[in-house]
Structure 1
Amino acid sequence: MAVAHKGSISMSLVLIPVGLHKTTVDNDIHFNQLDKESGARIKYKKYCSHCGKEVTARDIVKGYEYEKGKYVTMTEEELDRLKTNKDRTIHIVQCSKMSEIDMIYYENDYYAVPEKGAEKAFELLRQTLLSLKMVGIAKTVIGQTEKTIVLYPLKDGLIAKTLYYYDEIAEIPRKVPKMQLDKKELEMAKMLVQTMAKPFVAAEFRDEYQERLRNAIMQKIKGNDVLMVEQGAANNVIDLMEALKGSLDMMKQEEPVNREGKIS
């Protein structure tokens, strides 16, 4: 797996060289755009808006528009000169409790993997954070963006989670009013949740739509038509109590699940 970012975790005088690797892979089917008549690929060309000539990556520089139609250009070398030694490291500025960070701030996850020779210092950091149920809050520059990073300890590694900044979080579109709940409704809702309770196992979940899509593609390759999948019944909730009762009755008809999530 390619390294997305390379640097060192810095905590006071301790320096731990690490690489950040993506934690996810893209398994989705991706379609190409084709011309409807010829079936040929649609391609996009980059061209100069002044002279119309086609340009390649070597011909392109970064430019910032400070006035309409006026740009100041910056080379990669100039941008790199702006980075301090602290910017090049994943510099831990504080440690906080895991529970203190709202989930809405999490952006992307990376595996933090120590370089050879740094394993002991890395393990010391991981075990210390894990035993205290704390995370390291760090800062670093990735590309041309300074990122706040949470170093989150796991039982078998360390995850670097980049965070959105406070001013990047949009407000809730509208405030949801606090509705007065009937005690019976709340108790029945709790019963429904408890009936559905079982340990979360990530391997049990898969992208079923992608599976149907792959099957449909294979059918079309064989010259068959795409068949409509079976549709579930419409679920129009009219009366909340009736819906809760109906849901509980339906759950009771299924196989009971014990607290360990095993079918009894």
Structure 2
Amino acid sequence: MRSIWKGAISFGLVTIPVKLYSATEQKDVTFHQVHREDGGRIRYKRVCTQDGEEVPYSDIAKGYELATGEMVVLTDEDFEDLPLSTSRRIDVLQFTPAEQIDPIYFAKSYYLEPDAQGAKPYVLLRDALESSGQVAVVKVALRQRESLATLRVRDGVFVLETMLWPDEIRAPDFAFLEEDIEVRAQELSMAESLISTMESDFDPSEYHDTYREALQQVIEAKVAGKEVIAAPEEEEARPAVDLMAALRASVEAAKREREGEPAKPKKAASKAKQAKEGEEKAPPKRKTRKSA
């Protein structure tokens, strides 16, 4: 891994030099926009809407559009004068229980590695934080943007998780929250039973990106000049008419799946049975003569 930022954790009078690394990476299959006929790459030019001329990257600045449509142009010098007091510093603001922070605030995760002579104070703060069972709430500036963040310990390493500001979290303003929806005790009990049946320890290695794998197979097949076989379409789930019956069937299916038994297609079996009974009851067909 390559570090993307260098700074220091400021903890009281203690300063711990650290390097910052991105803790996650996207595994998406990337594409280029190409000409359908010959596969040539599509290039875009940076053209000014005022004079129609192509603009070199060195002449491009950031602009903030006002409600009137006027544009305020900001230069690099304008950003340099901004009061980013936490620039190159991770300031510890407080310590708090992790369960008090809603996961909706978390944005991106980074690893922190001790730099230079910072290994001993790094390990000291790490062990103290881990034994306390809390997380550190900090403030940090990354890419000219100040963010709240938390420091926690994972596999012996500090993880810095940047957070959104409170005014960046949308309120769930949905109409159904104002409705008086009645849930019967039997339905609630059956739903709780379904949850209990499906309960297990979380193992992320059990899950994988089936879409990305299928897409990769399509690409490999086209490279090899083979015919691409479409995956079977899954039946679209429809809203349950009888909620109680749907919950009961879900509990039974979950139990069978946990016991390793394949789910029995009840509907298909009943239709086949009805068709067979119809054939047995149906009278023999009469032969009709063809006219000369």
What TM-score do you get using the length of structure 2 for normalisation? 0.79
Q: Where do residues 76-91 of structure 1 align in structure 2 (5 Å cutoff)?
A: 77-83=77-83, 86-91=86-91
Greater alpha carbon shift after TM alignment, 171-180 vs 128-137 = 171-180
Name 2:198's counterpart in structure 1: 196
Return the alpha-carbon distance in structure 1 between the equivalents of residues 12 and 139 of structure 2. Answer: 13
Matched, 1:74 2:40: no
Q: 1:183 deviation in Å?
A: 2.1
Aligned residue type for 1:246: A
**Change in 2 beyond 3 A, CA 1:185/1:40:** same
Aligned residue type for 1:58: S
Any conservation in 1 of the 2:151–2:159 contact (CA below 8 Å)?
A: yes
Deviation by residue 1:128-156 (Cα, 9 ceiling, x = unmatched): 22211211111122122111111122242
Q: Where do residues 93-104 of structure 1 align in structure 2 (5 Å cutoff)?
A: 93-104=93-104
**Change in 2 beyond 3 A, CA 1:80/1:3:** farther
Q: 1:201 deviation in Å?
A: 1.2
3-state SS of paired residue (2:10): strand
Q: 1:8 deviation in Å?
A: 0.6
Deviation by residue 1:15-65 (Cα, 9 ceiling, x = unmatched): 111122111122111111122334321111113334433333323233445
Any conservation in 2 of the 1:87–1:139 contact (CA below 8 Å)?
A: no
Greater alpha carbon shift after TM alignment, 112-121 vs 178-187 = 178-187
Aligned residues between the structures: 256
Q: Which runs of 4+ in 1 moved over 6 A?
A: none
Name 1:122's counterpart in structure 2: 122
Q: Where do residues 202-213 of structure 1 align in structure 2 (5 Å cutoff)?
A: 202-213=204-215
Return the alpha-carbon distance in structure 2 between the equivalents of residues 80 and 153 of structure 1. Answer: 33
Long gaps (5+) in structure 1 = 258-264
What TM-score do you get using the length of structure 1 for normalisation? 0.87
**Change in 2 beyond 3 A, CA 1:116/1:252:** same
Please, what is the CA RMSD of the aligned residues? 2.3
Name 2:231's counterpart in structure 1: 229
Long gaps (5+) in structure 2 = 261-292
Return the alpha-carbon distance in structure 2 between the equivalents of residues 65 and 219 of structure 1. Answer: 48
Matched, 1:242 2:242: no
Deviation by residue 1:148-202 (Cα, 9 ceiling, x = unmatched): 1111222421110111111111121405346332222222222211221111111
Aligned residue type for 1:74: T
Deviation by residue 1:92-115 (Cα, 9 ceiling, x = unmatched): 111111111111111111111111
Return the alpha-carbon distance in structure 1 between the equivalents of residues 236 and 59 of structure 2. Answer: 56
3-state SS of paired residue (1:172): coil
